[in-house]
Amino acid sequence: MTSQFQLVMRTGPVPGTVYPLEGEQLTIGRDPSNPIHIADAEVSRRHARLMLQGGRYVLEDLGSTNGTFVNGRRISAPYVLKPGDVISLGESISLVFEAVTFDPGATVVSPSAKATVAAPPPAAAVPPARPAAPAPAPYPAPTPVPPMAPPAAPTERKFPLPILIAVLAFLLLLCACGGFLWWVDATYRWCTFFPFLFPGACP
């Protein structure tokens, strides 16, 4: 059994496009000279690079304008990819990194084999039927990316009850003082309550 890696476009100009990864170094970009060519304005001419190291691909950003992201996080250093990782280029391009496992012996057919037509053998000489070859293993499904949790709503700041009571008491006291001064002025009782304000004028 051998493994082969590929990128599958999830969102972008042509969703569903498969890019087989073959080679020790592959570049991704808007320029047609890149092995992985993506014609989109958000992709830089040479956006990112894939390098095969120890049987695994390492992703590196090449100073792109809109950035390279893996599973929603922008990378600033080489990142070792794992099957199921989602690579985002800018805001509208996303690619899923997948590992494809297959059995070469079950799929390769010898080119020298030729179809021949022969008369069927006698009934007594028919050999027993051989069991059917096992079907190749299905491609592993990409690991789903968990949705990002929405930001927590800011909590409302409640006005403390003691401060509210103090403010109401102050307003009541202020109103009482104002009412008292108005009554003193309306009944001409300044000399009765505040004789020190009018020295010599009050008897």
- Average pLDDT, consecutive stretches of 10 residues, N- to C-terminus, the chain (203 residues): 81 94 94 95 95 94 96 95 96 93 52 40 54 61 65 62 84 80 70 63 60
Q: Return the pLDDT at 162.
A: 82
Residue with tokens 């109103």: 175
Does this model's pTM top 0.75? Answer: no
Query: Other CB atoms closer than 10 Å to residue 106's CB: what's the count?
Result: 12
Per-residue pLDDT, 79: 97
Question: How far apart are the C-alpha atoms of 35 and 19, rounded to whole Å?
Answer: 9
**What would the two tokens of residue 197 be?**
């304000």
Q: CA-CA distance, 121 to 117, in Å (whole number)?
A: 12
Residues 6+ apart with CB under 8 A from 159: none
Q: What is the pLDDT of residue 118?
A: 41
CA dist 16 and 39 (Å) reads: 15
In the prediction, which pLDDT does 129 show?
Answer: 59
